[in-house]
A and B are shown apart, each in its own frame.
Chain A
Amino acid sequence: MATVERVLGKSIKRREDPRFITGRGTYVDDVKLPGTTWAAFVRSPHAHARIKKIDTAAALKHPGVVAIFTGKDMTGVNSLPCGWLLPELKVPPHMPLASDAARCVGDPVAIVIAESHDAAEDAAEKVKVTWEVLPAVSATDKATAKGSTQIHEVAPSNTAFTWQIGDAAAVETAFRGAARVVKKKIVNQRLVANPMEPRACLASYDRATGDLTLWVTSQNPHVHRLLMCAFVLGIPEHKVRVIAPDVGGAFGSKIFLYNEETICSWATKQIKRPVRWTSSRREAFLTDAHGRDHVTEAEMAFDAQGKIVGLRVKTIANMGAYLSTFAPAVPTYLYATLLNGVYTIPAIHAHVTGVFTNTTPVDAYRGAGRPEAAYLLERMIDAGAAALKLDPADIRKKNFIPKFENGFQTQVALNYDSGNYAAAFDKLLGMLDYKKFRSEQQAARKQGRLLGLGFSTYIEACSIAPSKVVGSLGAQAGLYESGKVRVHPTGGITVYTGSHSHGQGHETTFSQLVADELGVPMESVEIVHGDTGAIPFGMGTYGSRSGSVGGTALLMSLQKIKEKGKKIAAHLLEASPSDIEYTNGQFQVKGFPGKAVPFGQVALTAYVPHNYPAGLEPGLEETSFYDPSNFCFPFGAHACVVEIDRDTGQVKIVRYLAVDDVGNVMNPMIVDGMVHGGIAQGVGQALCEGAVYDDGQLVTGSMMDYALPKADMLPMYETDRTVTPTLVNPLGVKGAGETGTIAATPAVMNAVVDALAPLGVDHIETMPLTAGRVWTIMQSAKR
């Protein structure tokens, strides 16, 4: 019998793409129910204002209006929860509809429900809100200033939390003995996620059964259900089904429980009709959780040879107007715990203040905390190289943690799984032809050209776990995953995964895993995700956890299937189960290739158990929950070459190189896609993206003002990989969803600083590096 071709690790084309690219996907907005009503929200135009009165009389008379509710109507409904409680965290109420005051532009104060989208929008304009406008604060570093407006009663000085990690005394000592200390202000600007599909929901209450079904753009429908039922609406979970069908991108912004789906879920029960809401792009800018927004003072101390001896970090992190679902975790456990980077840093201390401002809430956005950490470290090590007149490649090599295969304890709590940082960097230098580049740069500089190279040697933490540990750190949820495998009588397989695909390609990679493990064709495998009615439970997809956690849960179930199959096969073959092995889609007696039964026959036997082992349950279906023992830590080395137009300040990326190590690779094409998109997003932050507030008004609130990276800004990437499998999970996969975003931003920034070095520039505080900003820096440098 021919061996079945292995598919895991192959660049199989994405099975889901034909559906997407021919417009046959089913997104929330495509789900049609009879009798559906449309919701529009009345939102605050003010950054901070007391609500004196809401007059709905005129709006109620608008033709087609079904109902209008304000916060006062939502009795018995609780605040939206914060799912990560730091010690002494100030958790202000975050009511789905604000009824006392609005605290950011876009804060919803009423829902207008009508027979059509137009009627809802028109009537919403007729709701008259009497506001008492209050002073607002939007700047991260001004929130706690004396005299700033107080946003929440429970949070004096607008401080949500102060938090620290590391050893302050050890840092103090290290700094005292240091040969050189570099100190820089580092601003990691606020970003807007902007997935292609805006958020949407459709809530439908069934009068007959009392069940509620919510279709929602979610990365984690079970988490949505849990938070909404248990914390806000007080409905038992078994009466609620949450479905996240095809979801068109998220980048973190669809993890969180938002006001809109909560209000629609409540409202459908009031009016006994389905209620739909789909965000406009303008609403998306104002209400999707934003990302990043740190202002940091960082100090890095070096010995005379350029070895890092200490790092001190003080960060103010903007939480926005309320605490979004996982907001407090991002600038603490997902940021400061990564400040060891890929370097040996004997002493680290980080202090973080989370502040409230009159801005859209900030939460996890692709990378979430890790890009901020990598950006800081990569900027600081380059600043150190400049101060010590060292080559940025040499200073990195001097400081890399040496190769390790099973465990490295950092100064900031984490224990890295496996790493070989110098190897990835060496590979990058080879691809770059580093020496040659530097001589070309010399020549270019002589001609007055501004050519620069930036490195970024980063680490990231994926698939955060185990549940016990994250629980002790404040998470209100576990971080395991479930995977259920149902083998049908005729051998077809349906997989139910708690991971959720919104661009990651699970339908392909998980099918590959099943096909490879069971030796069956991919076509006989179906992947089901995103439905609490079908899937046991799921923590969802974010933080590059699907392959490592969801994939492993699935693998565990596949192994159980094989174990049970061996018992059935042994019975059929009249052998002992311990003598049965599974190869090429067959159960066979070890050493007797002829004595075998195919997988399909075992499946059929499991469901038609006429000739069946005594005491064995019929059926072939297994469920597993996997709670990893540790995070996984992908890493890599990126390089960016830029040239700056002296006339305009425009930065042009000439080359972009990436060597990533994501452990074992399940589908290289999908990983490449992730890396490519991630780099584009990282470049976007460096060169053009940025949410700008002016006195609480978002001035970059549309695609006309907020610049996303475009294809013509990017060169052809030069990418490669090293492979250092993790020992944390049996697949050896680490996670590939965020590496590009984490790595690219500092690579571009370091390249621009390097290009401007002949003008005396050694640091730039603020991104994005728009042409205007770069030109202004060039002018002041010349002076």
Chain B
Amino acid sequence: MYPAAFEYHAPTSVKDALKLLDKLDDAKLLAGGHSLIPMMKLRLAQPKHLIDLGKIKGLAGIKEEKGVFTVGAMTTHWEVESSKPIKAKVPVVSETAAVIGDPAVRNKGTIGGSLAHADPAADMPATAIALGFEFVCEGAKGKRTVKADDWFKGLMTTAVKDNEVLTTIRIPVSGPGSGACYMKFPHPASRFAIVGVCAAVTVDKSGVCKKVGVGVTGAGTKAVRAKGVEAALLNKKLDAATIEAAAQKAADGVDVQPDLQGSVEYKAHLCRVFARRALEAALKRAQG
């Protein structure tokens, strides 16, 4: 299919992009185009204007300062996947990026686009929640920072406002004794996540859980924090039985959606299975 006609704009600064957003009616920001353009080709989206963020300097790139990575919204999945500092300090982020789509998708799609688009079956949202990413949005009035827990609002809706640009994603580096893992059960056709769970744990020397984050994606209309699982683990000594019991709560609070790939029961069950698997792997890494 061919998309409906639209006008193309290529601002070179965030300020200009914001001005265009303000001025134009029915405009959409364009990042990697790997969610937006397929929708436009199917004419499910027919924006009148596209504002390409690709020509803005400084919107892409990975920096590390004082235990926090700042990743530009326009950084591609591949850049995230292959970044040596990310691989060394927050490997789970690289691993999550590595299971998004195929190489073509990863070479064009961006971390900002993925997190702004908030596809319910996207991968990075689970990791964003588990690790506690922060989102820097820029509007006419300046910048504001949104925490992961406040970011995913509903089906394909996030905290970024229509007149804002998501410019930066902050990824905290976990301290010693930490480990994390993202595990995904891919859809046989799209390879998006039927269910994906990211688990991040920090344990002390005696194996007691001092910090934990578990994000669940795919099963519901938006990615969520598995609070029940976290509560069942925090300050407990982590062993197989504790993890198994905690994982049982992985689907609590997820508005599980049935589809051709499975019933509500099945997908809820998958949340538990993948929570357990991700936690086991995270613990192993934390201790290893």
Contact = CB atoms under 8 A, between A and B. Distances in A.
Interface of A: 117-118, 121-122, 125, 280, 282, 647-650, 687-688, 692, 699-700, 702-708, 710, 770-772, 775-776, 779
A699 B190 CA distance: 14
B7 to A, nearest CB: 14
B269 interface: yes
A415 B34 CA distance: 55
Contact of B1 (A280, A648, A692): A280
Given A118-B5, A688-B189, A770-B261, 13 more contacts: A121-B2, A122-B5, A125-B4, A282-B1, A282-B42, A687-B188, A692-B260, A700-B189, A702-B42, A705-B190, A707-B188, A770-B188, A771-B262
A121 B263 contact: no
Contacts of B42: 282, 702
4 smallest CB-CB distances across A and B, nearest first, come from: A772-B262, A707-B188, A707-B189, A704-B190
B189 A775 contact: no
A770 B258 CA distance: 14
A121 B1 contact: yes
A699 B2 contact: no
Contacts of B190: 703-705
B260 A700 contact: yes
Contacts of A687: 188
B273 interface: yes
A119 B263 CA distance: 42
B189 A776 contact: no
Contacts of B43: 125
Contacts of B185: 648, 650, 771
8 contacts: A118-B5, A122-B5, A648-B273, A705-B260, A706-B189, A707-B187, A707-B189, A772-B261
Contacts of A649: 266
B1 A704 contact: no
Interface in B89-119: none
A280 B266 CA distance: 34
Interface residues of B, number: 22
Nearest to B188: A707
A699 B266 contact: no
Contacts of B261: 770-772
- Residue with the highest number of chain A CB atoms closer than 10 Å, among B43, B189, B190, B262: B189
A648 B189 contact: no
Contacts, number: 60
A280 B187 CA distance: 23
Given A118-B2, A648-B270, A705 B263 contact: no
A414 to B, nearest CB: 37
Contacts of B188: 687-688, 707, 710, 770
**Which of A117, A692, A704 lies at the interface centre, i.e. has the most chain B CB atoms within 10 A of its CB?**
A704
Contact of A776 (B1, B4, B187, B263): B263
A665 B1 CA distance: 42
A700 B190 CA distance: 11
B189 to A, nearest CB: 4
A775 B5 CA distance: 46
A352 to B, nearest CB: 28
Nearest to A684: B188
Nearest to B1: A280
Given A703-B189, A704-B190, A772 B2 contact: no
Interface of B: 1-2, 4-5, 42-43, 185, 187-190, 192, 260-263, 265-267, 269-270, 273
A710 B189 CA distance: 9
Given A118-B2, A688-B188, A704-B190, A699 B260 contact: yes
Contacts of B187: 704, 707
Nearest to A768: B188
Contacts of B5: 118, 122
A29 to B, nearest CB: 14
Contacts of B2: 117-118, 121
B231 to A, nearest CB: 24
A708 B189 contact: yes
A705 B273 contact: no
A688 B194 CA distance: 14
A772 B1 contact: no
Contact of B189 (A125, A280, A282, A704): A704
A282 B185 CA distance: 26
A280 B3 CA distance: 12
A707 B190 CA distance: 8
Given A118-B5, A121-B1, A122-B4, A772 B189 contact: no
Given A647-B273, A703-B189, A704-B190, A776 B266 contact: yes
A284 B187 CA distance: 22
A650 B260 CA distance: 15
Given A280-B1, A772-B262, A705 B269 contact: no
Contacts of A118: 2, 5
A282 B42 CA distance: 8
A284 to B, nearest CB: 11
A646 to B, nearest CB: 10
Nearest to B192: A704
A772 B188 CA distance: 11
A707 B43 CA distance: 22
Nearest to B269: A775
A772 B187 CA distance: 11
Contacts of B269: 775
Given A117-B2, A121-B2, A648-B185, A772 B263 contact: yes
A687 B261 CA distance: 12
A95 B5 CA distance: 33
B114 to A, nearest CB: 16
Contacts of A699: 260
A383 B265 CA distance: 30
A702 B192 CA distance: 14
A705 B266 contact: no
B260 A775 contact: no
Contacts of A703: 189-190
A705 B189 CA distance: 6
Q: Which of B262, B263, B267 has the most CB of A within 10 A?
A: B262
A779 B189 CA distance: 24
Nearest to A118: B2
A134 to B, nearest CB: 26
A779 B262 CA distance: 13
A764 B267 CA distance: 21
Contacts of B270: 648
A759 B2 CA distance: 50
Nearest to B272: A647
A776 B269 CA distance: 11
A648 B188 CA distance: 13
A127 B4 CA distance: 15
Contacts of A710: 188
A775 B262 contact: yes
B135 to A, nearest CB: 27
Contacts of A647: 273
A775 B1 contact: no
B266 A772 contact: yes
Contacts of A702: 42
Contacts of A705: 189-190, 260
A771 B187 CA distance: 10
Nearest to B185: A648
Nearest to B266: A772
B250 to A, nearest CB: 13
Nearest to A687: B188
B257 to A, nearest CB: 13
A477 B188 CA distance: 40
B260 to A, nearest CB: 6
B60 to A, nearest CB: 27
A703 B191 CA distance: 10
User: Most chain-B Cβ atoms within 10 A of its Cβ — which of A648, A703, A707, A708?
Assistant: A648
Contacts of A775: 262, 266, 269
Contacts of A704: 187, 189-190, 192
Contacts of A700: 189, 260
A707 B187 CA distance: 8
